[in-house]
């Protein structure tokens, strides 16, 4: 498993159907990220990832799994507290 410095870590939350799993975000890019979890078992194929420090929420699909790491592809992102365009009323 690759090693990352503490400066590379961000705390996140995997949110799905009323459930939440804590995670650490690893090597995030514009299109996805590697997430460290206590166990990849129980993490659904699709979920929302909340990154509190960035005030962002991403729609994600899992593209790979390894023990405590999962790789995700981002679908969309929006800033917490700001309604995404598709949910705004006119």
State how far the alpha carbon of 36 is from the alpha carbons of 47, 83, 84, in Å: 15, 28, 27
In angstroms, the CA 64 to CA 57 distance is 20
- Arithmetic mean of pLDDT, 68-82: 80
In angstroms, the CA 67 to CA 37 distance is 9
User: For the chain, what is the mean pLDDT?
Assistant: 83
DSSP 45: S
Give the pLDDT confidence of 27-67 residue by residue, as tens digits: 899 899 999 999 998 999 999 999 988 888 999 999 999 99
């Amino acid at each position: 498993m690759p090693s990352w410095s503490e400066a590379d870590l961000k705390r996140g939350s995997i949110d799905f159907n009323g459930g939440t799993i804590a995670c650490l975000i690893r090597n995030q890019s514009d299109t996805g990220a590697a997430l460290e979890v206590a166990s990849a078992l129980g993490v659904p194929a699709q979920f929302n990832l909340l990154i509190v420090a960035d005030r962002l929420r991403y729609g994600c699909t899992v593209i790979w799994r390894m023990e405590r790491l999962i790789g995700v592809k981002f679908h969309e992102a929006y800033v917490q507290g700001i309604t995404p365009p598709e949910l705004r009323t006119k």
